[in-house]
Chains A and B, each alone.
Chain A
Amino acid sequence: MYHYITKSIRRLKSRSILVILVNCVLAVLLNLYFGLIDSYRTQLTDLAANTPIRCTITNPDGTREVGIAVKSDILRDLQAAQQIKELDCSTQLKAGFGEFEIARWEENLNLDVSVVNRIDSSALPDHIRVNYQEGWDESLFAGSEKVCLLKKSDMEEQGFSYGDEIPFTVYHYVYIDERRDVDILELGYMNLKVVGQIDDSDSVESHEYPDMLVPFQTIWDAFDERGVDFTAEAVSFYVRDPLALNAFKAEMEQIGGNGLLEVYKGEGARFSYKGSALYVQDGIFITMAGRLKTALRILTAFLIPMGILVFIIGYVISHLLVNGRVKEFALFRSLGVKQSGAVWVFWSEQLVLVLAGNVLGCLTALLIGQVGLQDILTVCGAAFGGYMLGTTVALLWLAGNRPLELLASE
């Protein structure tokens, strides 16, 4: 029987080559298909990683320049939020060295203070250069220590050095009347330790620099101690997982009790109510991801038809080949070979050819080099299974006939 298989493969050369080729092409095509799906998936995750979605808190009418006062309950919820990252909160204060009376603010209140929770805050100029006292670094901005950074020139002028505890009088802004007009109120005195300096020796850029940097939480705590309502002037952050925008939006609806209800997309901002709104810059991501997702959906929709196709190809080709070999099958039966034995001969003959085709297909796919080995093996396994299933069905159909009928059919 084994000899019969090898002989028939050799003596029906063109048919054997056809079966090998069909299976090879099938394996390569399936590999390309799954490779494509794979590459779209990777593109989508890459897109999510490389196209961060930035969110900015705005006035309810979408403007961001002035008038933003983000309440502390919103801030607290944002700090605890799961779906966001790189929260960037800041506010601006006025301060002066030492203690002085309100009446004398004009000559004393000359320090612009930036209150930030990170040194790369969007409230600070891009190229700002800072130095820290030994033992301190930029992580201090995330904390609540009573520390500050001063301009290098001011430190030299005033004769301060690192580690000095310096008294300040601090004032804060308050929006009144439709939240457009600004008033300035005294917050009080506080001592802050100098642990770093803003390098303003480069005179070109330094005029944009604030005079002083203080950690965000430090100031928030100071407001709370004095029973004054604290608000932030600028808040922005990124969506943690752009592929989970729905979870993100659901969370944003819970922020600060009422939620950041108005989620602005694009430029069409509109006034809604007094409070805070969220401007989500997801336009680019949604467009690009949308295209990828559509392509992926179409591709994966073809999964089942592809499986059926492979089966049908296996069935049709096997059926055609089997039809040409009814006589041999009948002869096997007439010479006393059992039904299962006769099926086995033709089945294993196909098996050898299909395997050879698949191995060739795998090698080709490997050479093309788009898909990993494990994926290739899975895909070829599927192609192989589908084709052999077709073969099996075709052979079982043949075996269902009685030997006498088979012998007569010519």
Chain B
Amino acid sequence: MSRIIEAEKVSYIYQTKYQKTKALSEVSCSFERGKVYAITGKSGSGKSTFLSLLAGLDVPTEGTLYVDGEDMKEMDRDAYRMNRASVIYQAFHLFPLLTVQENVMFPMELQHVPQKEAEARAKEHLAKVGLPDTLYKKMPNMISGGEQQRVAIARAMAAGGEILLADEPTGNLDSQNERVIVDLLCKLAHEENYAVIIVTHNEAVAAAADVVYGMWDGTLTVVRE
């Protein structure tokens, strides 16, 4: 098994003008390719923060994150986000000015995937997450929350890469759609050798994972390995 991400005593402090919030304290763990990880924990325990650091959106206040042995601080994190790690955000974060299909195609456009291929891949993934093609030309604010969530999932999967980070990917879905998405994410890890990391409250989703971590007030513990 090949280790792709390793966290070493990672701490993170949100610093605003008026106050400091310690969101993570000395988190150490590692993630391997080909496995599905679940991170569970109470609201406000630091799960999304940890995921953002894994996505390279910021660097730890203290401690180190290694990607394939390379310190993330020293890395070109823009390139890492564009080509290696895809994120499904808790708040979806779709482009409000792009249609459903354009949203899925956008990361591929940044990667200079030819237009035709990007379109085909977008349609393929939109179909995989179970969205009817009547929605492809709609704007994000014209579709439901669950549909938006699936667009975000399709976008992350279509972008390719080695790491998929998902923040509550099934939070807005019914149990049938939830199964479809969980199967897709598991397949991604087991068949395409991704490291899939899912933040979830959902027992069923956690049960499908190979490894389960628990987050408690900014600290991480192993729940099941």
Contact = CB atoms under 8 A, between A and B. Distances in A.
Nearest to B12: A404
A194 B89 CA distance: 111
Contacts of B159: 335
Interface string A315-343: 00000000000011011011111100000
Nearest to B139: A11
B95 A331 contact: yes
Given A3-B109, A336-B78, A327 B93 contact: yes
Given A7-B102, A402-B58, A403-B58, A334 B97 contact: no
Contacts of B82: 335-337
Nearest to B15: A405
Contacts of A43: none
Contacts of A335: 81-82, 106-107, 110, 159
A404 B57 contact: yes
Contact of B57 (A3, A328, A337, A407): A407
Given A334-B55, A402-B58, A403-B57, A328 B83 contact: no
Interface string B33-72: 0000000000000000000100101100000000000000
A330 B57 CA distance: 10
A6 B52 CA distance: 31
A329 to B, nearest CB: 11
B207 to A, nearest CB: 30
A11 B103 CA distance: 14
A403 B102 CA distance: 22
B103 to A, nearest CB: 10
A402 B57 CA distance: 8
A328 B57 CA distance: 15
A336 B79 contact: yes
B222 interface: no
Interface string B97-112: 1100010001101100
Report, as a range, how many residues of chain B touch the other chain: 20 to 34
A191 interface: no
Contacts of B114: none
Contacts, number: 57
A400 to B, nearest CB: 14
Most chain B beta carbons < 10 A, residue from A12, A403, A410? A403
Nearest to B80: A336
B91 interface: yes
B11 to A, nearest CB: 15
A8 interface: yes
Most chain B beta carbons < 10 A, residue from A1, A404, A410? A404
Contact of A7 (B55, B57, B80, B98): B98
Given A336-B81, A336-B83, A404 B97 contact: no
B195 interface: no
B57 A334 contact: yes
Contacts of A3: 109
Contacts of B182: none
A327 B110 contact: no
Interface in A303-324: none
What secondary structure prevails in chain A residues at the interface with B?
helix
Given A334-B57, A336-B80, A407-B89, A7 B97 contact: yes
Nearest to A336: B82
B93 A334 contact: yes
Contacts of A7: 97-98, 102
Most chain A beta carbons < 10 A, residue from B80, B98, B159? B98
Contacts of B96: 327-328
B97 A331 contact: no
A404 B102 CA distance: 24
Contact of B110 (A12, A328, A336, A403): A336
A19 to B, nearest CB: 15
A239 B181 CA distance: 94
Contacts of A331: 93, 95
B91 A410 contact: yes
A327 B94 CA distance: 9
Contacts of B80: 336
B87 interface: yes
Contact of A334 (B83, B87, B102): B87
B107 A11 contact: no
Contacts of A12: 97
A333 B110 CA distance: 11
A328 to B, nearest CB: 6
B174 to A, nearest CB: 26
Contacts of B81: 334-336
Interface of A: 1, 3-4, 7-8, 11-12, 327-328, 330-331, 333-338, 402-404, 407, 410
25 contacts: A1-B110, A7-B98, A7-B102, A8-B97, A12-B97, A328-B97, A331-B93, A334-B55, A334-B93, A335-B81, A335-B82, A335-B107, A335-B159, A336-B80, A336-B81, A336-B83, A336-B107, A337-B78, A338-B78, A402-B57, A403-B57, A403-B58, A404-B52, A404-B58, A407-B89
List 6 A-B pairs, minimum CB-CB distance, nearest first. A336-B82, A336-B81, A404-B58, A404-B57, A403-B57, A336-B78
Given A1-B110, A336-B81, 12 more contacts: A4-B97, A327-B93, A328-B97, A330-B93, A331-B95, A334-B93, A335-B107, A336-B80, A336-B107, A336-B110, A404-B52, A404-B57
